Structure formats: structure tokens, C-alpha cells
Amino acid sequence: MKAGGAGSTPDGATKQPNDISQALAYFLEDVGSAVFCLNTTVVGLAAVEGGYKKPDTLDVSWTPRDNVIAARKARKFVVESVLVRVSEALNQYVSAISKLSQFASVRSRWAAGEDTVSFAEKVSELAKTVLKGEEYLIPAAVLLVHWRNRVVHKQSRAGLGKRQRELLITNAGEISSKYKGLDIVRTLGDFENGRPTLKEISSLIAMTINLVRRMDGSVNKQITKEDLLGWLEVFHIEKELAKVRAETAPEKLEAAISRVFASRAPQLFEPYRMFFINTVVT
């Protein structure tokens, strides 16, 4: 998978446009870094599989009986690890977007069934609400979440519903065309058997990125004061701002706050300035 698909630069850092939400910026940064590390590890493991010998200066215990078996076992591990990382990034995105006032009714339904609404269900419901309907990218992202659950919880039997499976299989031709020949039927079988391949997980990550980009493009980014407060909480920025306000002279406060947002959440500075700066500095 090309790291650029997640918006990353070759060294794993990210450069994001200004017309996306802060939630998407965080998502792309996390996923871009994970994909870059995955690709780097896969390249390194190809060398191991080809007979690479550990340098004497590398102080680790590593004496595989078979380089090929060792490399393929390690690749499965890193693929599963990236699967977990991307699922967590998706969780963060859904948590942030759901805090927007435009999704108050969705949050209310989740709160009413707090102990029974799974993260996979939240992804599906929020995506369908934002996109105003169903499409195969939604069950693809849900499949990624379920796969993560089976990796982390060995007894998990989380899986797609009948309608979700049908949506993927019905669009098998388009999925194959857009995602480098991915066989979604085989992918579903490998999910059931716990055999994730690099191509399958890379493709599910790419589909999840495309889903989140589409969702973000459909979300109203004119956030309210209530929305901003929710995001400052979910992104753990408010405590840092409180420290700055307590320790900074009034004439330097706006510049200090600006630096916090520049390093943590650039897309949120203008809304913060609009709602709070005047009252903070006067």
C-alpha cells in the first residue's frame, strides 16, 4: 500500500490541507504513519526472507531456524498490529465527529443503548447518517473493525451481518477494479479463518481512508461553540490551554495560544479565536 494514500510524506510525516476537519487531519496522520511503518517493515522482512544476516553490532537475540518462516510470521504480526492501529484511528475519528451538534440525535441513540452499541455499529450508523445511505465502503470499514476485534480478543466472533456481506459481494467487480484486483470473497473467507494477508489489510485500510474522506467531505465544518468545546475535550487540548492561560502574560496570550493550536490542532484555532480569544485577552 502506498503511504501517500493516507496523506503521508515519504518519512512518515503528514501535510494536510486546510479544507478538512481536525478529526480527519488526526486520522490521516495516524494512518499515514502506520502505513509507512508497515511498508518499511515489509521491505526489511523481504531482506530477512532473502537470507539477511543480523549484524554483530545489533544487540538482540535472533536465531531463526528458517528465515522465510520467521519473516512471514513477523509480517503477519505487523499486519495485524497496523490493523489495530488503523481501527483505533477510526475510533478516534468517529468519536470526534459524533460530538458535533449535527449528530446529537445519533449520540442520544447510542447513549440509550450504551452497553449494547458496539464500535462497529457506531461506524456503520454514523457513516450511513453522514452519507445518507449505504455503500460498500461502510461494511469494508466495519470488516476492518471486526478483524481488529478478532486479533485482540481471540474468543471474539464479531462479524458482518448478512446485508453487509451482500453489499461487499455485489460490488466485488468494482472493488477488484479499484483496489488492485482484491478478491473480496476470498478476503471474507480469510477473515473467518484468521489469515490476514498484506494485500487484504492494505486494501481494507485504503477503503477505510476513502470512507472517512467521503464522510468528512459531507460533514458541515462550520462548528458551533459547543462543537469546539467537545473537540477540545476529545483531543485533550483544554488542559494545555488552561496551563497557558494561567502562566502567560495577557499581552502574550494570543500568540501562546496560537502556538498550542499550531502544534496540536491547526484547524481549530480560528474557531477558538472567534469564540474565546476576545474574552481571554481583555
Question: What digits encode the pLDDT tens for the residues 93-146?
Answer: 999 999 898 898 998 888 887 678 899 999 999 999 999 988 999 999 999 999
Q: Is the dihedral of CA 74, 39, 175, 211 positive or negative?
A: positive
The predicted pLDDT at position 6 comes to 56
The predicted pLDDT at position 280 comes to 46
- For residue 158, CA distances in Å to 89, 120, 136, 149, 155 come to 19, 9, 18, 7, 9
Helix (H/G/I), strand (E/B), else coil: 139 = helix
CB distance 144 to 86 below 8 Å:
yes
* Mean pLDDT lowest among 9-23, 104-118, 137-151, 187-201: 9-23
**Confidence category of residue 281, pLDDT binned at 50, 70, 90:** very low
The predicted pLDDT at position 139 comes to 97
Distant-in-sequence, close-in-space partners of 8: CB < 8 Å, separation ≥ 6: 14, 28, 29, 32, 33, 35, 36
- Residue-wise pLDDT for 229-276, tens only, equals 888 888 889 888 989 989 999 888 889 999 999 988 888 888 888 888
The predicted pLDDT at position 220 comes to 73
Q: Higher-confidence residue: 220 or 238? A: 238
Q: Please report which residue ranges of the chain form alpha helices under DSSP H.
A: 22-49, 67-98, 104-112, 119-131, 137-152, 162-170, 172-178, 184-193, 198-218, 225-234, 238-247, 253-264, 269-272, 278-281
- Within 10 A of 20 (CB to CB), how many other CB atoms are there? 19
- Residue-wise pLDDT for 157-183, tens only, equals 889 999 999 999 999 999 999 999 999
**Residue (of 57, 76, 73) closest to 65 by Cα position:** 73
The distance from CA 23 to its chain's CA centroid, rounded to whole angstroms, is: 10
Average pLDDT value for the chain = 88
**Confidence category of residue 12, pLDDT binned at 50, 70, 90:** very low
User: In which element (H, E) is residue 66 found?
Assistant: none
**Domain residue ranges of the chain, discontinuous segments joined by +:** 3-218, 225-281
Question: Quick one: DSSP state of residue 160?
Answer: -
**Confidence category of residue 18, pLDDT binned at 50, 70, 90:** low
CB distance 164 to 139 below 8 Å:
yes
Its pTM stands at 0.85
Average of per-residue pLDDT across 198-212: 96
Q: Is the dihedral of CA 151, 158, 178, 35 positive or negative?
A: negative
The predicted pLDDT at position 145 comes to 96
**Confidence category of residue 156, pLDDT binned at 50, 70, 90:** confident
Q: What percent of the chain has pLDDT over 90?
A: 58
